[in-house]
Structure 1
Amino acid sequence: MSAAPVAPHPESAERLDLLLTAPAARTGWRVVPARVLAMCIVELQKLRHDRTEIYTRAIQPALWLLIYGETFTRIRAIPTGGIPYLDYLAPGIIAQSAMFISIFYGIMIIWERDSGILTKLLVTPTPRAALVTGKAFAAGVKAVIQVVVVVVIAALLGVSLTWNPLKLLGVVAIVVLGSAFFSCLSMSIAGIVLTRDRLMGIGQAITMPLFFGSNALYPVSAMPGWLQVISKFNPLSYEVDALRGLLIGTPAHLGTDYAVLAFAAALGITAASALLARLAR
């Protein structure tokens, strides 16, 4: 008499199904965290293989602090409320350094378009906004690494900075938000002008007005009236205000600063996402 066939155990059958059937692909917004993390890892790998960019980009902030900061500290021409001018200047140079990294980020996406990488990314199920968000926060990672270098230089020059871990985390958050906005601004411009040469020209044309039209070098109260109005619409002013409040303890409007930069970053991601397809044509 033959033995009756033994039915497979339910758990064994379930495991067999997992081996034979591919899991459902992540689609839509479920890929956003993975995409953002992947872009950040890529940028960190680039810096690990070539650290030259960190050193060369540190030269300009160091010159601002050494020459401009030391000189105006001696002549005391800018009212800073009793704070040494070098201390007052350091957060502004930190914000400037982060902005200069991010504002030319659109060049990278044009290079990806020219090399065919962007077209391949756009045919994946990843939302365009996820691609832009990943690149924006990758720019933030690069900016934070640059900020660490500038903070070390400022500390060596005797700038009194806080080392409170919570405040330093706040500095990281504000730099990432600011860099996300400026990188998205650059990618949006790239989607309009479509070429690297034009983007370089426009980037160089807007960086100085953004810098000098903010409170990075001098307080808003020292500006002429028309420039004070412009500074209120300049995201860099809010980034500098937050950095000063966190790093050297000056009065700041942290809630407003974070809200403005978060809104600006979201607006930038939306605009860059809308122009991404035009760039890939």
Structure 2
Amino acid sequence: MTVASGARPARATRLGQWAQELRALLRRWYLQLVRERAHLVLTLCQPAFWLVFFGLGVGGLVDHATVGTDDYTGFILPGVIGSTVIGSAISGAVPLLWDKETGYLHKLLSMPINRGSVLLSRLLFQVVVTGVQVAFILLVAVVLGVRVATGFPGLLLVSLVAALLTVALTAVFLALAYHGPGHNTFFTVSGFAALPLLLASNAFVPLAAMPGWMAAVARLNPLTYANEASRQLVLGGWHPRLVGYLVGLSLFAAVCVTAASLAFRKQAGGAP
């Protein structure tokens, strides 16, 4: 009984210390972001521009029978969110990439902190940043006349889909930043992967309208299922398949975070 009673305060102390580390790291990421005001404004506004110009400009040229709806802005809304998540995931890995190359990451890891808090703080921060972007995109979509079939609860689930995809892709790019040899490799690989990841999905074109080989590739793309989930919530309404989409995205995020943790441990010398 005495040992068990002593273990609980020790566990509570470790959790309190970990929470303090997360707060300190999150504050650091926040200060880095707000100091770059132009980047902050563009990060928030650029996705909304995509929605306006593609939805209103390109929408008039699209065959509504092909996309299956008269609301092309609503149709591409998940694709715009997906492109935002990809950009956010890449930019989310950049600060730690610079920390690694400048040697600050080594100094940070030499401190008596839980090394997992470095990875977790970056994932949490990027989820918040992307969440603000997605909220602004959804607001612009409503102003443009998009009517979400599942209402406000559906908007919350769209945000959850975006959060799961953000965690997964940010973890992947963090793993690349940790494990890659340098920033040239990181930007080359991430730049090469970003556009195919977006275009080899159903972000802007339905699977039925794609050539067979492209549709087959798109079905292997996790972004396709995130788009399907959000599109169902925006245009279709509630459906049992949404459970499968959310479970699949959750498992994908868990796998990606595990891979990033392993890459981080290897870069950090295998310490916890």
State the TM-score, normalized to the length of structure 1.
0.78
Query: Structure 1 residues 206 and 44, CA, compared in 2 at 3 Å: closer, same or farther?
Result: same
Q: What does residue 102 of structure 1 align with? A: 89
Alignment partner, residue 143 of structure 1: 130
- Confirm whether residue 179 of structure 1 aligns to residue 172 of structure 2: no
Q: Distance in 2 between matches of 1:43 and 1:235?
A: 28
* 1:53 alignment partner AA: H
| Map 1:1-281 → 2, pairs under 5 A | 24=10, 39-40=25-26, 42-48=28-34, 50-77=36-63, 79-123=66-110, 128-161=115-148, 164-250=151-237, 253-280=241-268
Q: 1:48 to 1:108 in 2, by over 3 A?
A: closer
Secondary structure class of the residue paired with 1:96? helix
Amino acid at match of 1:247: V
Whole-Å Cα distance in 2 between the matches of residues 203 and 115 of structure 1?
A: 20
Distance in 1 between residues matched to 2:132 and 2:220, nearest whole Å: 27
Task: Name the amino acid aligned to 2:58.
Answer: F
Deviation at 1:264, TM superposition (A): 1.5
Alignment partners' CA distance in 1, 2:98 and 2:53: 36
Q: CA deviation at 1:248?
A: 3.4
In the TM superposition, what whole-angstrom CA distance separates every residue of 1:114-136 from its partner, at most 9, and x where no partner exists?
34442244345655444323322
Q: 1:71 to 1:188 in 2, by over 3 A?
A: same
Aligned residues: 259
Deviation of the 1:277 alpha carbon: 3.9
Question: Which stretch has the larger CA shift, 254-263 or 165-174?
Answer: 165-174
Q: What TM-score does the superposition give when structure 2 sets the normalisation length?
A: 0.80
Does the Cα contact within 8 Å between 2:21 and 2:117 map onto a contact in 1? yes
Q: Which amino acid aligns with 2:60?
A: R
Percent of pairs identical after alignment? 25
Cα drift, residue 222 of structure 1: 1.4
Worse overlay, 176-185 or 61-70: 61-70
Structure whose residues are more often helix by fraction:
2
Taking structure 1 as reference, are residues 222 and 167 closer, same or farther at Cα in structure 2, changes over 3 Å only? Answer: same
Q: Which segments of 5 or more consecutive residues in structure 2 lack a partner in the other structure? A: 1-8
